[in-house]
Amino acid sequence: FEVEVKKNLVGDGNDLFLDGGFVVPESNAFGQTFRDYDAESERKKSVEEFYRMQHIHQSFDFVKNMREEYGKLDRVEMSIWECCELLNEFIDESDPDLDEPQIEHLLQTAEAIRRDYPNEDWLHLVGLIHDLGKVLLHKKFGELPQWAVVGDTFPVGCGYDESIVHNKYLEQNPDYNNPAFNTKYGIYSERCGLNNVMMTWGHDDYMYLVAKENKTTLPSAGLFIIRYHSFYPLHKSGAYKYLMNDEDDKNLKWLHVFNKYDLYSKSKERVDVEKVKPYYLSLIKKYFPEKLRW
């Protein structure tokens, strides 16, 4: 079947026209449907254990402390491409669809977007860099456990939505019975804007901080995609929309487009890294400084 996606001819990151294009594969690398956390795959038990650990430990205080610590960006200075190469060492334990090194997935995503949206070069680059925050797994970045780096994200500081995967384990989180945090809005207010909402800590939020603090010239939609591409309760189930403001509404359209490529480009089709490298180096130069603080 086909997902209705067409090349966007307007480059401001706001307007979106859907009209045929991207063909979704029928099954993931393991032969199951995508994001099926109940499928009896070889990864099922490890994925569930991952989410048990994430849900227990990702409290409001934990997230606050991690943002303060890693927001200093005082660990390494390196280029975007150097970071891409670092990711070759890791496989994401939270992902039921993927067992390839990360740089393969990054380039598969970017190249699929590039084919369908040739004029939106910022979106190609977001495809390449959206997962670079996974360097938090590396020893240079503290070798954080996978539950503090990958997996679906969701807000902390307010009530948990039932769409959160393996949500039964959230009952063991210290915030679960905290009256300041366990109501619908918690510490937030209606339409306060996602930029004012604390999300579970991981590679999304970290790469957002890296891009923002290094003065990227990516459009607002690009930063939104980087920060919320793992926020599946929102873009898959429509949860937490009551926290979004007008700018979030516009950017969510782009996240829906991006997410199809992020999710469904996980395939066995290999990308010739050296062939496409010059193009992506040119995009990096356009939107980022040569060296970034991480």
Instruction: Provide the annotated binding site for Fe cation.
Output: 105, 130-131, 203, 229, 262
Which among 145, 144, 146, 164 has a CA at the least distance from the CA of 156? 164
Which regions of 49-200 does DSSP assign to beta strands (E)? Answer: 77-78
Which among 107, 100, 98, 112 has a CA at the least distance from the CA of 32? 98
Quick one: how far is CA 285 from the chain centroid? 22
Binding region for substrate: 35, 92-94, 134, 151-152, 229-230
> How far is the CA of 2 from the CAs of 5, 15, 91, 123, in angstroms?
9, 21, 29, 21
Which among 182, 163, 180 has a CA at the least distance from the CA of 171? 182
Binding region: 35, 92-94, 105, 130-131, 134, 151-152, 203, 229-230, 262
d(CA 167, CA 216): 35
